[in-house]
Amino acid sequence: MPPKWCACENTRRGEEEGPVRRVLMVAIAVAALTGGCGGQDVPPSPRPSQTGATPAAGGVVSLTFDDGLERQEQMARELTERGMAGTFYVLSTRVQAPGYLDQTQLARLAQAGHEIGGHTRTHARLPTLHHDEQRREICGDRSALEAMGFTPRSFAFPFHAVNAAAEAVAEECGYNSARGRAGVAAETTPPGDPYDLNTPLAVGANATLPEIQQYVLAAEKRKGWAILVFHDYCDGCGPLGVKPTLFTAFLDWLKGQKIPVRTVGDVIGGETRPVPPVKAPSIVLNASLENYFGKEGIPDCWQLDGRSATATFGRVADARTGRWAGRIKVTGGDPARLRLAIRQDDGECAPTAGGLSVWYTATAPVRLTLSRRTRDGVWSDWSDGPVFPATSTWRRATWTPRLAGAAGISFGLVLTEPGQATFDDFAVR
């Protein structure tokens, strides 16, 4: 059976009072937490849009919130106070980071009936990535959220950037839907493509109350689905920060409308599907060092091996491709004490074996360095590759080491003497 479309209408102020209203509120919370309406289990379907079912008469509204920002907890409270629930699309690597919701706060949201969905691990622009990296960003994010105790069924593409390949990966990773392109006032119900749900532009600092209301009224008139997008909750903090007074006024107005407010997961329906394992990549992930979210400014999927008072690492805009490159400076001591290399893990970042290459400039000779992972998960000591000369223009260093029996590899570039090296575009061939 395909997923069942169902109506969990928000209880509006003044409609139900006393014990009846309390019973309805409990029923709504239970329905949201069980991933359906009335607590009914619904068999999975690869394409929820193929049901041909229709939502409640008059359309439906979903309030969605991107990135898991800390101030969104207050937005969630305001929804809860009015008997509404939202969908919060979270970046798993930013849970616990300053300015973001931590795991305890997200658990409170889930317990209150809000939906926790996925938004990639690192807010990646997915259409620009290789399939291996798309899988890691989407499947790895969903797996991490499940490990925190959540049941993500809904996904949102960062930057609203989507193409057919990224849609396929979102479906492959077990999501029932993906929020995609922006600029359309209302989505159809059922949606024509559940992995590219259309939305208006994000509600930000320049939004007005009549403008937001119009999105809802248009969906109600067309019996469609208004999927509204919010980010930050503040006055004057940036273009994506909605004013608290505006947000409150909108919710009060929405409370008095007949159109139901439901999470994305409840509109789409379907049970939670398993997350496929993230396979060892066949490429170097974050090969151009563009994504630097993480501790100490280290590129995602990379690690700094060793520390030295005379050696420093940082990112620079003097890149061969993309926006960023990495740079190591060594002023004395052992230059190999600081090594930027692919993160040594069980296959989420560490690629399968192959010939190695990297582009570099340097004021001193450099060498490639390598560590191998055995099939039982043990990483070898670092071994040295060939030495390459100093160069003021971009030059490609390559090495094809013997890798018989290696289940995964980590490699990087180190200086052979004090100096400076800039590197970009790592690859396995």
Mapped to the 3 state alphabet, what secondary structure does 205-243 carry? CCCCHHHHHHHHHHHHHHCCEEEEEECEECCCCCCCEEC
Residues of the chain with pLDDT under 70: 1-57, 293-296
Check residue 310 and give its pLDDT.
87
Q: How far apart are CA 296 and CA 310, in angstroms?
A: 17
Residue 371 burial (CB count, 10 A): 21
Residue 51 burial (CB count, 10 A): 18
Helices (H), 256-386: 264-268
Residues near 429 by Cβ (< 8 Å), separated by ≥ 6? 354, 355, 356, 357, 398, 400
C-alpha dihedral sign at 61, 63, 66, 68: negative
Is there a contact between 48 and 79 (Cβ–Cβ < 8 Å)?
no
| Segment holding 413, helix H or strand E | strand 408-415
Q: What percent of the chain has pLDDT over 90?
A: 73
Domains and CATH numbers, the chain: 18-268 (3.20.20.370), 295-428 (2.60.120.260)
Residue tagged 């690859």 (tokens): 427
Check residue 205 and give its pLDDT.
96
Residue tagged 């300053």 (tokens): 98
Say what angle helices 72-81 and 103-111 make with each other, to 10 degrees: 10
Check residue 57 and give its pLDDT.
53
Pair type for strands 419-428 and 325-330: antiparallel
- pLDDT, tens digit (0-9, with 9 covering 90-100), for 117-151: 999 999 999 999 999 999 999 999 999 999 999 99
Q: How far apart are CA 340 and CA 306, in angstroms?
A: 9
| Dihedral angle of Cα 263, 264, 268, 270, to the nearest 10 degrees | -70
Residues near 404 by Cβ (< 8 Å), separated by ≥ 6? none
The pTM of the whole model exceeds 0.85: no
Tokens of 318: 């003097």
Check residue 38 and give its pLDDT.
33
Q: How far apart are CA 36 and CA 167, in angstroms?
A: 23
Q: Which residues pair with 424 in a beta bridge?
A: 359
Is residue 81 left, alpha or beta, with left meaning phi > 0 and alpha meaning psi from -120 to 50?
Answer: alpha
C-alpha dihedral sign at 267, 160, 120, 72: negative
Tokens of 172: 């492959």
CA of residue 137 relative to chain centroid, distance = 7
